[in-house]
Amino acid sequence: MKKRILKAFILFALMFTVCFNMLACGNKTGGGTGDGGDRTRQKTISWLHIWPEHSAAMTKIANNFMSENPDIKIEIQQSTHGDVASYLNMQVFSGTMPDVFFYWTHQISPYVDYDAVLDLTPYVSGWKETFIDGGTSWDIAKIGGKYYSVPFRSTAYTIVYNKTLLETLEVEVPTTIQEMEAALEKIRKSVPNQSFAPLAATGIAGGTLPQIHTALNSFVALQTEQYLDPAFKSNLIDDDATANQLGAKVLDKLKDWVGKGYFGYAEGKSESTAITNFVQGNAAMVLMNNNNLYLLEDMDEEIEIGFMAIPAPVGVDYTYVFGGFDGFSIAKNTRYPEECVRFLKYLTSLNVQQQFANSESSIMAVDGVVYSDPDQQAMSVAMKDMGNSLLSQPDAKFDVGSYGDQNNSLVLNYILGKSNSTAMQVIQLIEENNDKAVADAGLKRVARTHPYPQNVDYSWLEIL
């Protein structure tokens, strides 16, 4: 009985709020005076972003858009990186989703599954092609053959290297993972001090050391053509013995690199500490986020730096960049879909993207942006393979949830040498957790049907 009363009260409160807003705000429609003195209907669009640090730039964008589109009013809402998911979940529950809202393109699927996101497919033609790589970034949010998110800017991790130091040590900039391993070994032997890191990485949950693990697994996925299997996009493939053996080799490879000191003291190190070590000359390379470029400002001006992605094995035409796109979507229940699309097209116009890149030092999603800062330009080139749709799984049918956290801990503990399990035992524990997550979703995993390619060279996974 109490539940029914509470439910009725919530419904009454929501109805009262809607009615009050309709009376007070004209149901999101205001009035303005046109040149001839006539009343001009103005449509209000709510816009959610998550960047307090970019609030001035966002306000400027909204004001400029309203100046060019006097029939539309933009109401800015602001959340944060850590709170946006819970904020949107509340809005979905109450039926008050912002008309245009921020979310990461590769994570939009839960809101699509809830039928809360507008299908943008009818608007794609002539728009998608204006983005980098011909718009492949859009495919990360292509679910069920339809588009639901518009990329706004790129956020990724690339390797920054001390070019001056590498030249002094006579180390060539690596172009393959085999050359990367040789470079790390040569640097380690040249500078045996363990406080110095050939490649400064962060050995914490969510850090850059696990990203390297993901990179090696991604190269294996490309070599085995896993992405061509029909079940790959849904993430329901049940790994077989071959996949598990390769996964164990990846773990052992990375554990070997850690043991040889290729990452210095990585355990527990934060990204800011890793970058500081690099700036102070205590690392030859560092894996860092492009949005932290400003942290390199204190570096000795006589030192030349370069940028690169994690290179792939010989024969794989791909580099690995951990990252994705900050995107915007439109709520399905918006009263003004055409006006929202007009605003998104404005956000992703070359002029606005260029202005945001200049003022906020961001790497943008639209093609044709020119980066006057040489470091910004070099990093944008290194990020060219970021968000490659081959490895995206937009139709993932389940969420690993807390099991994913357990898997990450298993991996990190193993490669840091803090586990008593073998690599294969770790893989088996991860598989058990994935099975539990699939079962919790009421689903079943399916066997791989795409055949393994013949004569693939996996020798780069062997311990040297």
Asked whether residue 153 carries a pLDDT value surpassing 80, the answer given is: yes
Average the pLDDT over 184-203 and give the result.
Answer: 95
In terms of Cα–Cα distance, which of 288, 184, 257, 272 is closest to 414? 257
Return the CATH number at 52: 3.40.190.10
Cα torsion through 253, 257, 260, 261, rounded to 10: -160
**Structural domain includes residue 13:** no
Residue 105 and residue 147 share a domain: yes
Q: Which of 332, 356, 384 is the last residue of a domain?
A: 384
- The mean pLDDT of 234-262, rounded to a whole number, is 96
d(C-alpha 454, C-alpha 33), whole Å: 71
Residue 350 and residue 273 in one domain: no
Cβ neighbors of 277 (< 8 A, separation 6 or more) are 197, 200, 264, 283, 286
Residues 266 and 350 in one domain: no
Question: Among 355, 384, 413, where does a domain finish?
Answer: 384
Percent of the chain with pLDDT over 70: 90
C-beta pairs of 371-379 under 8 Å, 24+ apart in sequence = 375/293, 375/296, 375/305, 375/307, 376/293, 378/306, 378/307, 379/158, 379/160, 379/290, 379/293, 379/307
Instruction: Please tell me the predicted confidence (pLDDT) of residue 399.
Output: 73
Helix axes 401-415, 208-224, angle to 10 degrees: 100
In a domain, 254, yes or no: yes
Percent of residues, the chain, with pLDDT higher than 90: 72
151: which strand partners?
A: 327
Per DSSP, what are the bridge partners of residue 49?
78
pLDDT value of residue 140: 84
User: Residue 244 pLDDT > 50, yes or no?
Assistant: yes
Whether 276 maps to a domain, the answer reads yes
Let me know: does 438 contact 430? Beta carbons within 8 Å: no
What is the Cα–Cα distance from 220 to 457, expressed in whole angstroms? 10
**pLDDT over threshold 90, residue 21:** no
Instruction: Let me know if residue 12 belongs to a domain.
Output: no
- Residue 332, classified by CB atoms within 10 Å of its CB into exposed (0-12), middle (13-18) or buried (19+), is middle
Condensed to tens digits (0 to 9), the pLDDT of residues 326-362 reads 999 999 999 999 999 999 999 999 999 999 999 998 9
Same-domain status, 82 and 94: yes
Encode pLDDT of 258-297 as tens digits.
Answer: 999 999 999 999 999 999 999 999 999 999 998 888 889 8
At 304, the pLDDT band (50, 70, 90 cuts) reads very high
Q: Looking at the domain assignment, is residue 209 inside a domain?
A: yes
On whether residue 294 sits in a domain, the answer given is yes
Do residues 120 and 164 share a domain? no
The answer on 304 and 408 residing in a single domain is yes
Per-residue confidence at 14, pLDDT binned at 50, 70, 90? very low
List 379's β-bridge partners, or say none: none
In this predicted structure, which of 55-59, 149-153, 292-296, 406-410 has the lowest mean pLDDT?
A: 292-296
**93's tokens:** 């529950």
pLDDT at 23 over 70: no
Domain boundary among 364, 384, 404: 384
Tokens of 111: 């809101």
Q: Are residues 277 and 317 in the same domain?
A: yes
User: What is the Cα–Cα distance from 252 to 230, expressed in whole angstroms?
Assistant: 29
pLDDT digit string, tens, across residues 28-72: 444 443 434 444 578 999 999 999 999 999 999 999 999 999 999
Measure the CA angle with vertex 168, ends 163 and 171; round to 5°.
70
For 119, the domain range is 30-155+324-384
CA–CA separation, 178 vs 184, rounded Å?
Answer: 10
The candidate with the shortest Cα–Cα distance to 105, out of 52, 48, 62, 143, is: 143
CB 457 within 8 Å of CB 315: yes
Q: State residue 389's pLDDT score.
A: 63
How confident is the model over 318-331, as a mean pLDDT?
A: 92
Residue type, 192: P
Range among 213-222, 296-305, 398-407 rated most confident? 213-222
Q: Which amino acid would we find at residue 288?
A: M
245-252: average pLDDT: 98
Q: Could you tell me if 95 and 131 lie in one domain?
A: yes
**Residue 194 within a domain:** yes
Please give the mean pLDDT across all residues of the chain.
Answer: 88
Q: In the predicted model, what is the mean pLDDT of residues 438-464?
A: 94
> Are residue 169 and residue 244 in the same domain, yes or no?
yes
What's the pLDDT at 334? 97
The total domain count for the chain is: 2
- Examine the domain organization and report whether 300 and 343 are in the same domain: no
Tokens (6 digits) for 133: 């790589």
Which band of pLDDT confidence, cut at 50, 70 and 90, is reported for residue 387? low
HEC profile for the chain?
A: CHHHHHHHHHHHHHHHHHHHHHHHHCCCEEEEECCCCCEEEEEEEEEEECCHHHHHHHHHHHHHHHHHCCCEEEEEEECCCCCHHHHHHHHHHHCCCCCEEEEEHHHCHHHHHCCCECCCHHHCCCCHHHEHHHHHHHHHHEECCEECCEEEEEEEEEEEEEHHHHHHCCCCCCCCHHHHHHHHHHHHHHCCCCCCEEEECCECCCCHHHHHHHHHHHHHHHHHCHHHCCCCCCCCEECCHHHHHHHHHHHHHHHHHHHCCCCCCCECCCHHHHHHHHHCCCEEEEEEEHHHHHHHCCCCCCCCEEEECEECCCCCCCEECEEEEEEEEEECCCCCHHHHHHHHHHHCCHHHHHHHHHHHCCEECECCCCCCCHHHHHHHHHCCCCCCHHHCCCCCCCCCHHHHHHHHHHHHHHHCCCCCCCHHHHHHHHHHHHHHHHHHCCCCCEECCCCCCCCCCCHHHCCC
Residue with tokens 């996949």: 243
427 and 306 within one domain: yes
Mean pLDDT calculated for residue range 175-194: 96
Q: Say whether both 175 and 273 belong to one domain.
A: yes
Which one, of 205, 154, 201, 177, lies nearest residue 361 by Cα?
A: 154
Q: Is residue 11 part of a domain?
A: no
CA 404 to chain centre: 17
